[in-house]
Protein backbone atom coordinates (compact mmCIF):
# COMPACT_ATOMS: atom_id res chain seq x y z
CA UNK A 1 0.00 0.00 0.00
CA UNK A 2 2.93 2.34 0.69
CA UNK A 3 6.59 2.72 -0.23
CA UNK A 4 9.20 4.44 1.95
CA UNK A 5 12.08 6.45 0.53
CA UNK A 6 14.86 8.44 2.20
CA UNK A 7 16.05 11.88 1.09
CA UNK A 8 18.59 13.92 3.06
CA UNK A 9 18.29 11.30 5.81
CA UNK A 10 14.57 12.03 6.11
CA UNK A 11 11.86 9.38 5.64
CA UNK A 12 9.01 9.94 3.22
CA UNK A 13 6.12 7.51 2.69
CA UNK A 14 4.48 7.33 -0.73
CA UNK A 15 0.80 6.43 -0.45
CA UNK A 16 -1.39 4.76 -3.07
CA UNK A 17 -3.75 7.75 -3.02
CA UNK A 18 -0.97 9.93 -4.43
CA UNK A 19 -0.29 11.59 -1.08
CA UNK A 20 3.20 11.75 0.44
CA UNK A 21 3.90 11.71 4.19
CA UNK A 22 7.00 13.45 5.54
CA UNK A 23 7.52 11.49 8.73
CA UNK A 24 9.72 13.71 10.94
CA UNK A 25 7.53 16.85 10.95
CA UNK A 26 4.33 14.83 10.53
CA UNK A 27 3.45 16.63 7.31
CA UNK A 28 1.14 15.17 4.64
CA UNK A 29 1.61 16.52 1.11
CA UNK A 30 -1.29 16.33 -1.36
CA UNK A 31 -1.10 17.82 -4.85
CA UNK A 32 -3.55 18.78 -7.59
CA UNK A 33 -6.88 17.78 -6.06
CA UNK A 34 -8.75 20.13 -8.45
CA UNK A 35 -11.85 20.34 -6.31
CA UNK A 36 -14.75 21.88 -8.20
CA UNK A 37 -13.68 20.38 -11.52
CA UNK A 38 -16.42 17.76 -11.49
CA UNK A 39 -19.11 20.38 -10.84
CA UNK A 40 -17.53 22.66 -13.43
CA UNK A 41 -17.67 19.95 -16.10
CA UNK A 42 -21.21 18.92 -15.18
CA UNK A 43 -22.35 22.54 -15.43
CA UNK A 44 -21.31 22.54 -19.09
CA UNK A 45 -22.93 19.20 -19.90
CA UNK A 46 -20.02 16.78 -19.48
CA UNK A 47 -21.07 13.25 -18.51
CA UNK A 48 -19.19 13.13 -15.22
CA UNK A 49 -20.78 11.11 -12.39
CA UNK A 50 -21.88 13.23 -9.44
CA UNK A 51 -20.46 10.72 -6.96
CA UNK A 52 -16.97 11.72 -8.16
CA UNK A 53 -17.36 14.80 -5.95
CA UNK A 54 -17.78 12.63 -2.87
CA UNK A 55 -14.92 10.34 -3.97
CA UNK A 56 -12.47 13.24 -3.74
CA UNK A 57 -13.48 14.09 -0.18
CA UNK A 58 -13.61 10.44 0.89
CA UNK A 59 -10.09 9.93 -0.50
CA UNK A 60 -8.82 13.02 1.32
CA UNK A 61 -10.34 11.90 4.61
CA UNK A 62 -8.95 8.37 4.21
CA UNK A 63 -5.40 9.58 3.51
CA UNK A 64 -5.45 11.96 6.46
CA UNK A 65 -6.84 9.34 8.82
CA UNK A 66 -4.16 6.89 7.68
CA UNK A 67 -1.30 9.18 8.76
CA UNK A 68 -2.90 11.50 11.35
CA UNK A 69 -0.59 14.38 10.30
CA UNK A 70 0.01 17.52 12.29
CA UNK A 71 -0.06 19.50 9.04
CA UNK A 72 -1.69 18.92 5.66
CA UNK A 73 -0.06 20.80 2.79
CA UNK A 74 -2.00 21.09 -0.45
CA UNK A 75 0.67 21.50 -3.13
CA UNK A 76 -1.32 23.72 -5.46
CA UNK A 77 -4.43 23.49 -7.62
CA UNK A 78 -6.62 22.61 -4.68
CA UNK A 79 -9.57 24.09 -6.57
CA UNK A 80 -9.89 23.89 -10.32
CA UNK A 81 -11.56 27.26 -10.95
CA UNK A 82 -13.83 29.82 -9.32
CA UNK A 83 -16.27 29.17 -6.50
CA UNK A 84 -19.01 26.63 -7.03
CA UNK A 85 -21.08 24.28 -4.86
CA UNK A 86 -18.02 22.23 -3.93
CA UNK A 87 -16.64 25.14 -1.92
CA UNK A 88 -19.49 24.70 0.57
CA UNK A 89 -18.68 20.98 0.84
CA UNK A 90 -14.99 21.81 1.33
CA UNK A 91 -15.82 24.40 3.99
CA UNK A 92 -17.77 21.81 5.99
CA UNK A 93 -15.10 19.16 5.38
CA UNK A 94 -12.36 21.34 6.92
CA UNK A 95 -14.32 21.38 10.18
CA UNK A 96 -13.78 17.63 10.46
CA UNK A 97 -9.98 17.94 10.11
CA UNK A 98 -7.89 18.65 13.20
CA UNK A 99 -4.63 19.06 11.23
CA UNK A 100 -3.28 22.48 10.36
CA UNK A 101 -3.92 23.14 6.65
CA UNK A 102 -1.60 25.06 4.30
CA UNK A 103 -2.15 25.76 0.62
CA UNK A 104 0.89 26.28 -1.60
CA UNK A 105 -0.80 28.29 -4.33
CA UNK A 106 -0.95 26.86 -7.87
CA UNK A 107 -1.93 28.26 -11.24
CA UNK A 108 -5.56 27.16 -10.86
CA UNK A 109 -5.93 28.63 -7.39
CA UNK A 110 -7.83 31.79 -8.31
CA UNK A 111 -10.14 31.84 -5.28
CA UNK A 112 -9.27 34.73 -2.97
CA UNK A 113 -6.84 33.83 -0.17
CA UNK A 114 -9.27 35.63 2.16
CA UNK A 115 -11.78 32.82 1.64
CA UNK A 116 -9.16 30.30 2.79
CA UNK A 117 -8.10 32.47 5.71
CA UNK A 118 -11.72 32.50 6.89
CA UNK A 119 -11.38 28.71 7.16
CA UNK A 120 -8.09 28.99 9.05
CA UNK A 121 -6.01 27.93 6.04
CA UNK A 122 -2.67 29.62 5.37
CA UNK A 123 -1.96 30.41 1.70
CA UNK A 124 1.66 30.76 0.58
CA UNK A 125 3.76 30.58 -2.58
CA UNK A 126 6.29 28.08 -1.22
CA UNK A 127 7.51 26.34 1.90
CA UNK A 128 11.21 26.12 2.79
CA UNK A 129 12.09 23.70 5.57
CA UNK A 130 15.15 21.63 6.52
CA UNK A 131 16.73 21.81 3.07
CA UNK A 132 13.48 21.07 1.23
CA UNK A 133 11.56 23.39 -1.09
CA UNK A 134 7.83 22.79 -1.52
CA UNK A 135 6.25 24.43 -4.57
CA UNK A 136 3.45 23.83 -7.04
CA UNK A 137 5.51 24.12 -10.23
CA UNK A 138 8.73 22.10 -10.40
CA UNK A 139 11.65 24.36 -9.50
CA UNK A 140 15.40 24.09 -9.14
CA UNK A 141 17.13 25.86 -6.27
CA UNK A 142 20.72 25.13 -5.38
CA UNK A 143 21.08 23.28 -2.09
CA UNK A 144 17.43 22.29 -1.89
CA UNK A 145 15.43 19.20 -2.78
CA UNK A 146 12.17 20.21 -4.45
CA UNK A 147 8.75 18.63 -3.97
CA UNK A 148 6.16 19.79 -6.48
CA UNK A 149 3.05 18.86 -8.44
CA UNK A 150 1.45 20.50 -11.50
CA UNK A 151 2.62 17.94 -14.08
CA UNK A 152 0.28 15.04 -13.12
CA UNK A 153 2.98 12.49 -14.04
CA UNK A 154 2.16 9.00 -15.31
CA UNK A 155 4.25 6.15 -16.66
CA UNK A 156 3.34 3.87 -19.55
CA UNK A 157 4.24 0.25 -18.90
CA UNK A 158 4.34 -2.28 -21.72
CA UNK A 159 4.08 -6.04 -21.25
CA UNK A 160 5.74 -8.82 -23.22
CA UNK A 161 2.63 -9.10 -25.39
CA UNK A 162 2.88 -5.37 -26.20
CA UNK A 163 -0.19 -4.61 -24.13
CA UNK A 164 0.27 -1.35 -22.25
CA UNK A 165 -1.15 0.52 -19.30
CA UNK A 166 -0.63 4.09 -18.12
CA UNK A 167 -0.36 4.56 -14.36
CA UNK A 168 -0.06 7.74 -12.26
CA UNK A 169 3.31 7.91 -10.58
CA UNK A 170 5.73 9.70 -8.30
CA UNK A 171 8.63 10.89 -10.49
CA UNK A 172 11.91 11.37 -8.62
CA UNK A 173 15.26 12.69 -9.82
CA UNK A 174 18.38 13.63 -7.86
CA UNK A 175 17.03 16.98 -6.68
CA UNK A 176 13.29 16.74 -7.23
CA UNK A 177 10.15 14.67 -6.72
CA UNK A 178 7.01 15.43 -8.72
CA UNK A 179 3.83 14.14 -7.14
CA UNK A 180 0.89 12.58 -8.97
CA UNK A 181 -2.45 14.35 -9.11
CA UNK A 182 -4.67 13.38 -6.20
CA UNK A 183 -8.06 14.32 -7.62
CA UNK A 184 -10.50 12.42 -9.81
CA UNK A 185 -10.71 13.36 -13.53
CA UNK A 186 -7.49 15.38 -13.49
CA UNK A 187 -5.76 13.80 -16.50
CA UNK A 188 -2.12 12.75 -16.65
CA UNK A 189 1.08 13.52 -18.54
CA UNK A 190 3.22 10.57 -19.58
CA UNK A 191 6.82 11.05 -18.44
CA UNK A 192 9.86 9.39 -19.98
CA UNK A 193 12.22 7.94 -17.37
CA UNK A 194 15.90 8.78 -17.52
CA UNK A 195 18.85 6.81 -16.19
CA UNK A 196 19.00 8.97 -13.06
CA UNK A 197 15.25 8.93 -12.31
CA UNK A 198 13.15 6.76 -10.05
CA UNK A 199 9.53 5.96 -10.83
CA UNK A 200 6.99 4.83 -8.25
CA UNK A 201 3.78 3.84 -10.00
CA UNK A 202 0.35 3.59 -8.41
CA UNK A 203 -1.53 0.40 -9.24
CA UNK A 204 -4.78 0.18 -7.31
CA UNK A 205 -3.91 0.12 -3.61
CA UNK A 206 -0.21 -0.51 -4.26
CA UNK A 207 2.82 1.72 -4.84
CA UNK A 208 5.49 -0.12 -6.81
CA UNK A 209 8.95 0.94 -7.92
CA UNK A 210 9.39 0.59 -11.68
CA UNK A 211 12.53 -1.10 -12.95
CA UNK A 212 13.79 1.59 -15.31
CA UNK A 213 16.43 -0.58 -17.02
CA UNK A 214 13.89 -3.31 -17.73
CA UNK A 215 11.42 -0.77 -19.12
CA UNK A 216 14.03 0.66 -21.47
CA UNK A 217 15.05 -2.84 -22.59
CA UNK A 218 11.47 -3.67 -23.53
CA UNK A 219 11.09 -0.33 -25.27
CA UNK A 220 14.07 -1.08 -27.52
CA UNK A 221 12.73 -4.55 -28.39
CA UNK A 222 9.59 -3.21 -30.04
Domains along the chain with CATH numbers: 2-220 (3.60.21)
Rounded to two decimals, what is the model's pTM?
0.89
- Residue 184's pLDDT is 67
User: E strands, 25-175, where?
Assistant: 27-30, 71-74, 100-104, 122-124, 127-129, 132-134, 145-148, 153-158, 164-173
- Residue 218's pLDDT is 47
Q: How many CB atoms lie within 10 A of CB 128?
A: 12
- Residue 220's pLDDT is 47
In this structure, are residues 10 and 130 in contact, taking their beta carbons and an 8 Å threshold? yes
Q: How many angstroms from the chain centroid is the CA of residue 97?
A: 19
As averages over each run of 10 residues, the pLDDT of the chain (222 residues) reads 94 97 98 76 50 83 97 94 82 96 94 95 97 97 97 88 86 97 82 92 94 58 40
Cα angle at 151 between 36 and 25, to 5 degrees?
A: 85
16's CB contacts (< 8 A; 6+ apart) are: 1, 2, 202, 204, 205, 206, 207
Query: pLDDT tens digit string along 65-120?
Result: 999 999 999 999 999 776 778 899 999 999 999 999 999 999 988 999 999 999 99
Helices (H), the chain: 37-43, 51-67, 85-94, 113-118, 212-220
* Secondary element (H or E) of residue 6: strand 2-7
Amino acid sequence: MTESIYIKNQEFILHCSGALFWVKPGMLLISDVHLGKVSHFRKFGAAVPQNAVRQNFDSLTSAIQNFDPGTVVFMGDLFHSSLNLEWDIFSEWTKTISSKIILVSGNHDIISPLKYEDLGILVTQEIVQDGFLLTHHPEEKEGFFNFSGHVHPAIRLTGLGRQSVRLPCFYKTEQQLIMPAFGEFTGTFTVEPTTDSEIYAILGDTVLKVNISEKKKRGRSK
